[in-house]
Amino acid sequence: MNLTTIILAAGKGTRMRSKLPKVLHKIAHKPLLQHVHDTAVQLENNEIHIVIGHGSDLVKQTLENLQVNWVEQTEQLGTGHAVQQVSNQISNDTIALILYGDVPLLKIETLQNLISKITEKTLALLTVNLADPMGYGRIVRDDSGNVLRIIEEKDATEVEKQITEGNTGILAVQGKSLKKWLSQLRNNNTQGEYYLTDIIALAVSDGFEIITSSPQNEDEVLGVNDKLQLAHLERVYQLQQAEILMRQGVTLSDPNRFDLRGTLEVGQDVEIDVNVIFEGKNQVGNNVKIGSNCSIKNATIGDDVIILPNCVIENAQVGANSRIGPFARLRPETVLATDTHIGNFVEIKKSVIGQGSKVNHLSYIGDSLVGKKVNIGAGTITCNYDGVNKFQTIIEDGAFIGSDTQLVAPVTIGKNATIGAGSTITKDTPDDKLTLSRSKQLSVSGWQRPVKKEKL
Ligand code: UD1
Ligand code: CA
């Protein structure tokens, strides 16, 4: 059976108090609307239409990669009116599924279950029993429990308001019938809107059975209307991801203090301390330990790596058995071979560090090729930039760079060369030799410390 999914996303989201259209606000760095899309797209034979209105250009531009049909609703005259905008693109024999761009955590299983209920004469409706159904349309049933209609909170009588079964808004029905009912909607209600919910009563009068089902968890159908709800769903989502990782064997010191804003593939026996944030696409090998407060983005981390607290790693590869941090920064295009040590207050950018090499303290290594078993002393700086262009530093295998050295690129340090501490190296240095550039130490006789002049 073919599916036509219609995602409603034209609303303004006034309570977000933001210039950004509501559906572009993010959970785990991904727009709400994209969460909904990414779930819907997993349904087979599914054609997706998204109804946009407020900030439609920005929505389309931000999500231009989505393979969907964008439909404009220039005036927001209600949920029924929104679906009417797609009406002529719904074929008769398809199943139409209605979703909401601001309900991001809906599960694919819930949708599959809903759709499986559809026959020629049924409408499938997702409802939820709520402790506090305030704001929700209520499901009105007859004495035998058959659904008769949905009444919106604003149109409900005091008795109807007592109903705790709420309308999630999510429903599925055959295209042919949906189109018929859409054309029959009227806006004679408190809000003067065309309510999609009115199709329930129309379906009942056409002899349809309304089959209801509920999500496993209420959070699945919660919408985002303000920043509090956004933060709540962010935590719900993060905890779900933490649970998946823990089931895969990851040790999380505190699943409530873990954030994944992208993907993370993990090996065995990975331990992650508190407040670690992963972004983008990441791969972590076996026996990796990650200390607290690390920010890791688009990284590949080999087996047996230890990352100590407070490291920032972006677009970098860390070879097996390496030790990073604390307080290290690996910037884009950093490639560390196996057994490397990168210590505190070391910044590495667009550089390759060879096997067994160490940069342990207070250094900047940029645009460099560092060989194997190189030791780079504290405070070493590759001067890679003349204010206009960038130049490369090459440090060959086994070299030893004394502390507080400046390597002015382009420059090559030979194999097993030693650079004396405090040198400024501007020319290539030979293999095996000690090279240094410093003025001779001298002690000035007769020199006196200045003294403060007495005020008269
Ligand atoms: C709607 C339902 C209500 C349900 C609730 C669940 C109706 C009439 N009511 O109420 O029964 O309990 O959702 O959250 O359907 N939208 C458009 N164009 C419009 C109007 C709305 O695209 O003209 C979109 C909004 O962007 C939003 C969604 O539809 O994503 C729901 O609209 P909203 O105004 O929030 O509906 P509710 O009053 O909450
Ligand atoms: Ca709403």
Ligand nearest to the CA of 76: 1
The CA 104 to ligand 2 mean position distance, Å, reads 12
Rounded distance, CA 412 to CA 216, Å?
63
Residue nearest to atom 14 of ligand 1 (CA): 168
What are the φ/ψ torsions at residue 127 (nearest 5 degrees)?
-125, 170
The strands making up 358-361's β-sheet, listed across from edge to edge, are: 251-252, 271-272, 289-290, 306-307, 323-324, 341-344, 358-361, 375-376, 400-401, 418-419, 434-435
Rounded distance, CA 32 to CA 25, Å?
6
Given 49, 54, 232, 361, the catalytic residue: 361
341 as an active site residue: the answer is no
Tokens of 245: 């990782």
What are the φ/ψ torsions at residue 241 (nearest 5 degrees)?
-65, -40
Are 310 and 294 contacting, i.e. CB atoms less than 8 angstroms apart? yes
Rounded distance, CA 104 to CA 113, Å?
18
Nearest Cα neighbor of 32 from 61, 6, 9 is 9
Sorted by where each begins, the domain ranges of the chain are 3-221, 227-435
Ligand 1: atom nearest CA of 196 is 15
Q: Is the minimum distance from the CB of 222 to ligand 1 under 6 angstroms?
A: no
Residue 302 CB coordination number (10 Å): 22
Identity at 251, one-letter amino acid code: T
What's the pLDDT at 390? 95
Express each pLDDT in 69-110 by its tens digit.
999 999 999 999 999 999 999 999 999 999 999 999 999 999
What's the pLDDT at 70? 98
Rounded to the nearest integer, the mean pLDDT of the chain is: 97
Identity at 131, one-letter amino acid code: A
- How much is the average pLDDT of 344-369? 98
- 126 to 78, 218, 230, 364: CA distances (angstroms): 19, 11, 22, 57
Name residues whose C-beta falls within 8 Å of residue 162's C-beta, 6 or more positions apart in sequence.
Answer: none
Q: Following DSSP, what letter does each residue of 184-225 receive, concatenated? A: T----STT----GGGHHHHHHHTT-EEEEE--SSGGGGPPP-
Q: Where are the alpha helices (DSSP H) in 140-186?
A: 158-161, 175-182
Express each pLDDT in 363-396 by its tens digit.
999 999 999 999 999 999 999 998 999 999 999 9
Ligand nearest to the CA of 221: 1
What's the pLDDT at 12? 87
- How much is the average pLDDT of 313-333? 98
The C-alpha angle with vertex 227 and arms to 48 and 132, in degrees rounded to 5, equals 85
The CA 223 to ligand 2 mean position distance, Å, reads 6
pLDDT band at 140 (very low <50, low <70, confident <90, very high): very high
Residue 122 CB coordination number (10 Å): 17
Does 455 score more than 90 pLDDT?
A: no
Number of H helices, E strands in the chain: 8, 39
Tokens of 142: 């007859």
Express each pLDDT in 255-282 by its tens digit.
999 999 999 999 999 999 999 999 999 9
What's the pLDDT at 1? 77
Ligand 1: atom nearest CA of 53 is 22
Does 4 score more than 90 pLDDT?
A: yes
Q: Where are the alpha helices (DSSP H) in 29-174?
A: 32-40, 56-62, 79-84, 108-115, 158-161
Are 163 and 127 contacting, i.e. CB atoms less than 8 angstroms apart? no
What's the pLDDT at 456? 77
Name residues whose C-beta falls within 8 Å of residue 181's C-beta, 6 or more positions apart in sequence.
Answer: 198, 199, 202, 203, 206
Rounded distance, CA 94 to CA 74, Å?
26
Nearest Cα neighbor of 36 from 80, 69, 5, 14 is 5
Q: Is the minimum distance from the CB of 51 to ligand 1 under 6 angstroms?
A: yes
Q: Is the minimum distance from the CB of 101 to ligand 1 under 6 angstroms?
A: yes
Topology classification of domain 227-435: UDP N-Acetylglucosamine Acyltransferase; domain 1 (2.160.10)
Place of tokens 């309308």: 167
The CA 79 to ligand 1 mean position distance, Å, reads 5
Q: Is the minimum distance from the CB of 133 to ligand 1 under 6 angstroms?
A: no
- Burial of 132-163, coded b for 16+ CB within 10 Å and e otherwise, reads ebeebbbbbeeeeeebebbbbbeebeeeeeeb
The CA 101 to ligand 1 mean position distance, Å, reads 10
Ligand 1: atom nearest CA of 22 is 26
Ligand 1: atom nearest CA of 225 is 35
Q: Is the Cα torsion angle 66, 72, 76, 79 positive or negative in sign?
A: negative
The C-alpha angle with vertex 377 and arms to 375 and 380, in degrees rounded to 5, equals 115
3-state SS assignment for residue 232: helix
The CA 82 to ligand 1 mean position distance, Å, reads 9
The CA 100 to ligand 1 mean position distance, Å, reads 8
Which helix (DSSP H) or strand (DSSP E) does residue 229 occupy?
helix 227-247
Q: Is the minimum distance from the CB of 402 to ligand 1 under 6 angstroms?
A: no
Ligand 1: atom nearest CA of 13 is 26
Name residues whose C-beta falls within 8 Å of residue 315's C-beta, 6 or more positions apart in sequence.
Answer: 297, 298, 299, 331, 332, 333, 334
Does 210 score more than 90 pLDDT?
A: yes
Ligand nearest to the CA of 101: 1
Q: Enumerate the β-bridge partners of residue 33.
A: none
Q: Is the minimum distance from the CB of 198 to ligand 1 under 6 angstroms?
A: no
What's the alpha-carbon Rg for the chain, to the nearest Å?
Answer: 31
Does 215 score more than 80 pLDDT?
A: yes
Express each pLDDT in 218-243 by its tens digit.
999 999 999 999 999 999 999 999 99
Residues of the chain with pLDDT > 70, as a percent, come to 100
Rounded distance, CA 387 to CA 257, Å?
41
- Superfamily for domain range 3-221: Spore Coat Polysaccharide Biosynthesis Protein SpsA; Chain A (3.90.550.10)
